[in-house]
Chains A and B, each alone.
Chain A
Amino acid sequence: MAEPVLSIRDLSVEIPTRHGIVKPVDGVSYDIRAGEILGVVGESGAGKSMAGNAVIGLLSPPAHIASGEIWLNGKRIDQLRGEAMRRLRGKEIGMVFQDPLTSLNPLLRIGDQLVETMRTHLKISEKEAEKRAVAALEEVGIPGAASRVNSYPHEFSGGMRQRVVIALALCAEPSLVIADEPTTALDVSVQAQIIALLKRLCRERGTAVMLITHDMGVIAEATDRVAVMYAGRLAELGAVEQVLTRPQHPYTHGLMASTPLASEGKARLHQIPGAMPRLDAVPDGCAFNPRCPRATEVCRTPPPPRVKDGMAACWHPLVEDVEEKVS
């Protein structure tokens, strides 16, 4: 099989605080292949954005990569600094943020923002860049692109602005796109369109996508594989059908049961009791053990379980139900 576009190995991000070091990302590993969309889910504060920011080199200090490796197209990038990392951003890794209303510079025409981005990374003339800017807007479905390049961001609706943001993220043809909740701030009516657009463009170009979201509907609709994060760790990683329909980790199971999609028809949504631990108070062993109905002594003793060979990070995964009951 072809080498993955992105390969994260045992990645940890640390933040020194007054109460000691916290790890918003703790030993996370996953790959994303060309043309593949990996969904990243988990509760608020699980470390999804931190992991994405670590990959694109935009962790805001004092947060930093403490250990692990990040490989992009066979090159190790976690140790790149300053200028070397800047050249990758936009060119090799594109990023789409959550809120299109605030992602675009209000004082610059969108055409200028596109031209500027392309000319930073590609050796092309101003003329050529202007032509490509129009084409880029057409590609993301902006009607009247030829005249709209001269518009300012405030002249677009939220959904249209997110299309512009996507055009900007993709205009230098990166091989990886990190989309951090790209539809959360949008009207429900345009969410599906934006996801469909992202999916189409990345499939066409063979771009690898890290799609961070809370929305299980988006996961089911767009992704190929899913990574479930809990308290900075990977709880489960697998093909989308498997994670959605046959989750192994009790946390994933609870997460699915608590979303409207999976529990259609049921009168009330299932709630996982308790809350995700704060990062300065992660329990010993499995971080989920205080909330887990299946927890035993081994779950409360370090080291915590890790995702391995297609199995969830759990000592008592749900697939083993039958055997577990026998023993």
Chain B
Amino acid sequence: MLAFIIRRVGQSLLVLLIVGLVAFSMFNFVGDPIDNMLGQERTAEDIARLREQLGLDRSFFVQYFRFLQEALQGNFGVSYRQGRPVTDILLERAPATLELAAVSGVLAILFGIALGVFTAIRRDGIWAHAIMSASLIGVSLPTFLIGILLIYVFSVELGWLPSFGRGDVVTVGGWKTGFLTESGLKALILPSITLGLYQMTLIMRLVRSEMLEVLRQDYIRFARARGLRDRAVNFRHALKNTMVPVITVIGLQLGAIIAFAIITETVFQWPGVGLLFINAIQFVDIPVMAAYLMLISVMFVGINLAVDILYFFIDPRLRADRTGGH
């Protein structure tokens, strides 16, 4: 097990190195940072000084190495636009995105699994058919359209929920949370539904089809033949086996939720890292873009690693295959 984890951590690091290379390359190939940082009134001297200060006069690999070194210490340089350390800006923005993603993820997973199981067990029922048809809308409508529709119905027409922003936030130990105020919670509802709906339908359809497949297996027939209660057959035997393939997808979807937050944050003017990234693109604010890229890939890689390790605890066959042989 340890050997397996070490191997996976190694692979993860390799992925991060490559993403780091891409992020770093942006500095050299997208626009000229000096242009961006110095205004019109610049002298050749200014340029040379800044060049040296930023280390832009060194070779590519030296620069890359420096970039990695700095990144490891959580230093991604200074935002061209705001003139403040990128790390500070990101940390300020991260809670908004993480809270939104967490709520969306939890909604998507809970409802996705529950509805998937329901539509599999009652597959000929009228409700199951209704849910399956409705889910087609969830997968086919683009996220921004769902967001706009929700805003139209619940903010414009009914006036129940805010259409933009996070509401009031409270700072707890340096973390700005919207969970503790009424307006903060209200503000979370529409964006998290918008962000989680696609993932929820995806998880639901996957759980349904995997579960139908599992319900056809011999061991389910045998469980029935032993007179086990429906609840035990469906949840103890079938659901557990269903989750084995579903977990990978859920892991990937969680990563996707954080990445897709860009669109939702734009629609709802949600002050998270996604919106920050969109603004950074408009201003070619390379340090912010690079740091965002790194942040997202660290999350993706981290989630994948967690999923792989989770497998170990769910599926005994993997434990045997991977540790038995050393």
What residues make up the interface of A, taking CB atoms closer than 8 Å to B?
56, 58, 86-91, 94-95, 97, 99, 102-108, 116-117, 120-121, 152, 154-155, 165, 168-169, 172
Contacts and interface: CB of A to CB of B under 8 A. Distances in A.
Nearest to B237: A105
Contact of A95 (B225, B228, B240, B317): B225
A107 B242 CA distance: 11
Given A105-B237, A107-B316, A154-B316, A89 B218 contact: no
Contacts of B316: 106-107, 152, 154
Contacts of A102: 217-219
Nearest to B229: A120
A86 B229 contact: yes
A103 B222 contact: yes
Q: Which of B217, B222, B232, B237 has the most CB of A within 10 A?
A: B222
B227 A87 contact: yes
B218 A107 contact: no
B57 interface: no
Interface centre among A94, A102, A107, A117 (most CB of B within 10 A): A107
Contacts of B317: 106, 152, 154
Interface in B299-326: 314-317, 320
B129 interface: no
Interface of B: 217-219, 221-230, 232, 236-237, 240-241, 244, 314-317, 320
Nearest to A121: B227
B241 A88 contact: no
A198 to B, nearest CB: 16
A104 B237 CA distance: 10
A89 B218 CA distance: 16
Nearest to A87: B227
| Main SS class of interface, B | helix
A83 to B, nearest CB: 9
Contacts of A86: 224, 227, 229-230
Nearest to B230: A86
Contacts of A94: 225-226
A152 B241 CA distance: 14
A168 B218 contact: no
Given A107-B315, A120-B229, A154-B316, A97 B222 contact: yes
B311 to A, nearest CB: 11
A107 B241 CA distance: 7
Contact of B225 (A58, A99, A121): A58
B226 A89 contact: yes
A202 to B, nearest CB: 17
A108 B222 CA distance: 14
A89 B240 CA distance: 23
A95 B222 contact: yes
Given A103-B222, A106-B219, A88 B227 contact: yes
Contacts of B237: 105, 108
Contact of B232 (A58, A89, A120, A155): A120
A90 B225 contact: yes
Contact of B240 (A104, A107, A121, A155): A107
19 contacts: A58-B224, A87-B227, A88-B227, A89-B225, A102-B217, A105-B241, A106-B219, A106-B317, A107-B240, A107-B316, A116-B232, A117-B227, A120-B229, A120-B232, A152-B320, A154-B317, A165-B222, A168-B226, A172-B226
Nearest to B214: A105
Contacts of A168: 222, 226
